[in-house]
């Protein structure tokens, strides 16, 4: 068992509902094991600046149901430099921080692995609404953001029905179409466009024309923010204009944007966050680090961060020469299996979304 006196905790990158539940669970679990916890304000930037606050049971009272992150967050380019990293390590040493729990997405895990190699054992927790961490079935924040997205679309549906309109809704998710797919299924969209699957625009327009001719008054089309025109501008607005022009259906456009990143976390996000956080503290105390907590087939497991990051590249077809060199044939097989699982899941969801889109 590693002897830890103090764990530091930070949230980094885009915030996600459920991050506060992670913080509360880490604090309460660690304190119950006699380990102090210090909160790092504003992600890795706070680690560089030495902006810290001791956390007690009382400091995390009532935060389990709060949206955002009460530790604040940032994206920190300075941390990517050797100098920034050294300063962050110095902050840990000066404040007797023996280990770190880092909550965020891929960028956050790269930071956690760098800190581990610089002598501060670190563990990552997947907190991002995008569900784009290939190593895990689920990232904390997804459920809340989809529910918010669906609630927004339900409201649009009401007014579209009254006025016989179509609404194109651009949703968040960066390069991952999961929010769009779940939102499309749950809101009865007539079409969905995501970055991972080519979109048949002509077929979608033809279908909208037919549906209107058959008497359908309100229609929703969901487009992921990760779908772009060839010139790099968002495809969603272009599609809305084309639908209006080519079908004659009165068409409105809306971008949900950051509103789906706020709000009270759902039960799913609070409980997953709590379970992952508790396990992370237990693993650190057992002497494990440089792992990211994942949910695989309903189980909370820890996967090596290097494995998770290269798996992510494999899934996105972005492997660089030599990327797989340090992995065993068994690990490479495991990566291929997980990568294929993600592709299959996405295609299954896409099929469900299109099968019911009338």
Q: Counting contacts by CB under 6 A, is residue 14 touching ligand F6P?
A: yes
Helix 201-213 to helix 235-247 angle (10° resolution) is: 40
Residue that has been written with the tokens 């941390």 in this structure: 79
Q: Counting contacts by CB under 6 A, is residue 128 touching ligand F6P?
A: yes
How far apart CA 265 and CA 318 sit, in angstroms, is 33
Among residues 98, 106, 114, 130, which one is catalytic? 130
Nearer to ligand F6P (CB atom), residue 242 or residue 264: 264
Nearer to ligand F6P (CB atom), residue 131 or residue 289: 131
Q: Please state the closest distance from residue 13 (CB atom) to ligand F6P, in A.
A: 6
Q: Please state the closest distance from residue 7 (CB atom) to ligand F6P, in A.
A: 25
Which of residues 172, 285, 338, 346 is near ligand F6P by CB under 6 A? 172
Residue that has been written with the tokens 């979608």 in this structure: 204
Which of residues 106, 130, 143, 170 is near ligand F6P by CB under 6 A? 130
Q: Counting contacts by CB under 6 A, is residue 137 touching ligand F6P?
A: no
How far apart CA 336 and CA 163 sit, in angstroms, is 49
DSSP per residue over 187-217, as a string? Answer: HT-SEEE-TTS---HHHHHHHHHHHHHTT--
What are 54's two structure tokens?
């001791």
Q: Please state the closest distance from residue 278 (CB atom) to ligand F6P, in A.
A: 25
CA distances from 167 to 109, 163, 243, 343, 347 (A): 37, 11, 10, 28, 24
Nearer to ligand F6P (CB atom), residue 121 or residue 127: 127
Which of residues 49, 174, 288, 316 is near ligand F6P by CB under 6 A? 174
End-to-end CA distance of the chain: 58
How far apart CA 92 and CA 78 sit, in angstroms, is 17
Q: Counting contacts by CB under 6 A, is residue 261 touching ligand F6P?
A: yes
Q: Counting contacts by CB under 6 A, is residue 69 touching ligand F6P?
A: no
Nearer to ligand F6P (CB atom), residue 11 or residue 128: 128
Nearer to ligand F6P (CB atom), residue 38 or residue 142: 142
Nearer to ligand F6P (CB atom), residue 98 or residue 225: 225
CA distances from 19 to 44, 98, 151, 225, 337 (A): 15, 22, 21, 23, 29
In sequence order, the 6+-apart residues with CB closer than 8 A to the CB of 302 are 123, 279, 280, 283, 288, 291, 292, 293, 294
Residue number of the CB closest to ligand F6P reads: 14
Nearest to 269 by CA among 67, 59, 11: 67
Q: Counting contacts by CB under 6 A, is residue 46 touching ligand F6P?
A: no
Q: Counting contacts by CB under 6 A, is residue 338 touching ligand F6P?
A: no
Is 269 in the active site?
A: no
How far apart CA 302 and CA 290 sit, in angstroms, is 9
> Within 93-112, which residues bind ligand F6P (CB under 6 A)?
none
Determine the distance from the C-alpha atom of residue 85 to the mean position of all C-alpha atoms in its chain, rounded to a whole number: 24
Q: Counting contacts by CB under 6 A, is residue 142 touching ligand F6P?
A: no
> Within 188-227, which residues bind ligand F6P (CB under 6 A)?
225
Which of residues 25, 129, 153, 249 is near ligand F6P by CB under 6 A? 129
In sequence order, the 6+-apart residues with CB closer than 8 A to the CB of 219 are 160, 165, 166, 167, 189, 190, 208, 211, 212, 249
Q: Please state the closest distance from residue 136 (CB atom) to ligand F6P, in A.
A: 15
| H or E element, residue 311 | helix 305-315
Nearer to ligand F6P (CB atom), residue 176 or residue 285: 176
Q: Counting contacts by CB under 6 A, is residue 173 touching ligand F6P?
A: yes
Q: Please state the closest distance from residue 259 (CB atom) to ligand F6P, in A.
A: 11
Residues at the interface with ligand F6P (CB under 6 A): 14, 128-130, 172-174, 225, 261
Catalytic residues: 130
């Amino acid at each position: 068992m590693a002897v830890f006196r103090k764990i530091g905790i930070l949230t980094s990158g885009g915030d996600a509902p459920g991050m506060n539940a992670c913080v509360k669970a880490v604090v309460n679990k660690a304190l119950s094991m006699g380990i102090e916890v210090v909160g790092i304000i504003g992600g890795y930037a706070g680690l560089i600046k030495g902006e810290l606050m001791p956390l007690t049971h009382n400091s995390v009272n009532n935060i389990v149901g709060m949206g955002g992150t009460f530790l604040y967050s940032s994206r920190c380019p300075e941390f990517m430099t050797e100098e920034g990293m050294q300063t962050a390590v110095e902050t840990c040493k000066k404040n007797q921080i023996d280990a770190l729990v880092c909550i965020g997405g891929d960028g956050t895990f790269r930071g956690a692995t760098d800190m581990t190699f610089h002598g501060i054992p670190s563990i990552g927790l997947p907190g991002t609404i995008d569900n784009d961490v290939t190593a895990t079935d689920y990232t904390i924040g997804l459920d809340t953001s989809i529910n918010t997205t669906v609630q927004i679309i339900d409201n649009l549906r009401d007014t579209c029905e009254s006025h016989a309109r179509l609404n194109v809704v651009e949703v968040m998710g960066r390069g991952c179409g999961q929010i769009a797919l779940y939102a499309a299924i749950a809101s009865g969209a007539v079409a969905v466009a995501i970055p991972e699957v080519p979109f048949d625009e002509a077929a979608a327009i033809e279908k909208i024309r037919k549906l209107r001719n058959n008497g359908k008054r309100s229609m929703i089309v969901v487009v992921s923010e990760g779908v772009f025109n060839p010139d790099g501008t968002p495809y969603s607005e272009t599609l809305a204009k084309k639908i209006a022009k080519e079908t004659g259906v009165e068409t409105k456009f809306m971008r949900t944007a950051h509103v789906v990143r706020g709000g009270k976390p759902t039960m799913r996000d609070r409980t997953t966050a709590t379970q992952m956080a508790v396990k992370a503290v237990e693993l650190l105390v057992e002497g494990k680090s440089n792992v990211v907590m994942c949910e695989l087939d309903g189980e909370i497991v820890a996967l090596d961060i290097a494995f998770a990051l290269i798996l992510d590249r494999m899934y996105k077809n972005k492997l660089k020469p030599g990327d797989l060199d340090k992995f065993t044939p068994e690990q490479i097989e495991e990566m291929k299996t997980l990568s294929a699982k993600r592709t299959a899941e996405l295609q299954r969801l896409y099929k469900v979304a299109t099968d019911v889109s009338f």
